[in-house]
Amino acid sequence: MAGILAWFWNERFWLPHNVTWADLQSTEEAAFPQAEDLYLAFPLAFCIFMIRLLFERFIAKPCALGLKVQANGPQKAQPNAILEKVFTAITKHPDEKRLEGLSKQLDWDVRSIQRWFRQRRNQEKPSTLTKFCESMWRFTFYLYIFTYGVRFLKKTPWLWNTRQCWNGYPYQPLLPDLHYYYIVELSFYWSLMFSQFIDIKRKDFGIMFTHHIVTVTLITFSYVTNLTRVGTLTLCLHDAADVVLEAAKMANYCKCQKLSDLLFLTFAIVFIVSRLGIYPLWILNTTLFELYEALGNFPALWIFNVLLVILQILHCFWSYLIIKAAYKAISKGKVAKDDRSDIESSSDEEETVPRSKTLHSTIATNGTSGANGTNGYLTGGTCSEEH
């Protein structure tokens, strides 16, 4: 095991030329990041998760009820043993052939069966109250950590001059505020890694999972190799848009449509400016060029930059979704449901009782969308974002 660790943490891979792990050992005069520090993130991640449960139960839920957020979940499908058996044992999305067979077996029209399956799928979705509580927790955390990051960074020289990220490397002492900032951020993303399997599922679950893995990897390795200065810039930049996003989602769940639309458009501007403008011109510029000029070439440099470029690719993908939603908002006068909506929509969502084929041919339908306004949004969060 010791041999494997020695091979993995090879100095010539992770550190610039003429820098060794001994250079990063803490002394009485100065403290430096140590790999052992990161073990603290696991119990802290558990604590954050428990704080979240208490926050949602005793703070977010009363706030939601006070704002008259809908506590009931999606409309339940009418009990039917045959359809339930198909849903649980065969498929949740029956094809046309199976729908025709069920239609003959039950003497229901195909559209009513489609509606039943849609309602049954939505039945497993969380209520608006649950979604509000999750968003309020993320909003509170992002607001706190973003505010902390801004207060810390405005006192540092590398906020105003990114070349200061590499000045004096590796002999850059670990500041207590920087240590706290890093460990709390890492703990939060570890908590998201665990909780995303029980959180609200959205269509970009795989992309968000990739995002969390990349983020945790970057935070971990940048801390161990003492590349923390540029790490703090990256973390703070990513938190900026997430605050506005969660606020927009909360406004939407409270049915404050105008406020929700305004916040969403604000989020779109902040996200695109920060992720497609500042991030490549500020973060990628210093890691791809200034870092190379200051420290020379070493293998880990390219690993870090590949991970940072993967984040940029995700930024481009999410920006496309945001621009598409913003275009719908401008063209239709309100923010349309985005591609990550939690609830499936239907023109017949309000109808609950299946009608016979004869009735279906003579009665017109009037319904509403199963998901309103800005439901779902684009990160995570998780578009969160959460980054």
The DSSP line for 267-305 is HHHHHHIIIIIIIIIIIIHIIIIIHHHHH---HHHHHHH
| Residue 13 neighbours by CB distance under 10 Å | 12
Residues 249 and 130 in one domain: yes
Is residue 367 in some structural domain?
A: no
Between the alpha carbon of residue 4 and those of residues 7, 8, 131, 217, 223, the distances in Å are: 5, 6, 44, 19, 21
Measured in degrees and rounded to the nearest 5, phi and psi for residue 204 equal -100, 30
- If asked whether residues 220 and 104 sit together in one domain, one would say no
CA atoms within 13 A on the CB side of 229: 25
d(CA 68, CA 26): 54
Residue 22 in any domain: the answer is no
Q: What is the span of the domain harbouring residue 178?
A: 29-66+126-332
How far is C-alpha 58 from the geometric centre of its chain's CA atoms? 24
What pLDDT sits at residue 386?
40
SS3 89: helix
**Residue 333, pLDDT score:** 62
Q: Write down the pLDDT at residue 123.
A: 82
What's the CA gap between 308 and 73, in Å, rounded?
39
Residues near 142 by beta carbon (within 8 Å), at least 6 away in sequence: 239, 242, 243, 246, 385, 386
Do 33 and 163 belong to one domain? yes
**pLDDT, one tens digit for every residue, the chain (387 residues):** 778 888 899 998 999 988 899 999 999 889 999 999 999 999 999 999 999 999 999 999 999 999 999 887 777 888 999 999 999 999 988 999 999 999 999 999 999 999 999 998 888 788 899 999 999 999 999 999 999 999 999 999 999 999 999 999 889 999 999 999 999 999 999 999 888 877 766 677 788 888 899 999 999 999 999 999 999 999 999 999 999 999 999 999 999 999 998 999 899 999 999 999 999 999 999 999 999 999 999 999 999 999 999 999 999 999 999 998 878 877 776 554 444 444 443 434 434 334 444 333 332 333 323 333 333 344 333 333 344
pTM: predicted TM-score of the whole model, two decimal places: 0.80
On whether both 298 and 165 belong to a single domain, the answer is yes
Longest dimension (CA), the chain: 86
pLDDT of 96 reads: 92
- Verify that 131 and 143 share a domain, yes or no: yes
pLDDT value at residue 379: 38
**Helices 228-253 + 176-195 axis angle, to 10:** 50
**Whether residue 61 is found in the same domain as residue 178:** yes
Q: Which residues of 216-230 are buried (b: 16+ CB within 10 A; e: fewer)?
A: bebbbbbbbbbbbbb
- Measured between alpha carbons, how far is 85 from 98 in angstroms, rounded to an integer? 13
Q: How many residues does the chain have?
A: 387
206 and 306 belong to one structural domain: yes
- Output the six-digit token pair for 155: 């006192």
Query: In the chain, how many domains are there?
Result: 2
103: part of which helix (H) or strand (E)? helix 96-106
The verdict on 96 and 202 lying in the same domain is no
In a domain, 365, yes or no: no
Q: Are residue 85 and residue 213 in the same domain, yes or no? A: no
Are the beta carbons of 98 and 91 closer than 8 angstroms?
yes
Angle 253-333-314 (CA atoms, 0-180°, nearest 5)? 65
**Helix (H, G, I), strand (E, B), or coil: what is residue 220?**
helix
Q: 118 and 206 share a domain?
A: no
- Is residue 173 situated within a structural domain? yes
For residue 1, being part of any structural domain is answered with: no
Domain assignment of residue 290, yes or no: yes
**CATH code: domain of residue 90:** 1.10.10.60
DSSP 287: I
In one-letter notation, the amino acid at residue 58 is F
Is there a single domain that holds both residue 100 and residue 246?
no
Together in a domain, 108 and 153: no
Does any domain span residue 338? no
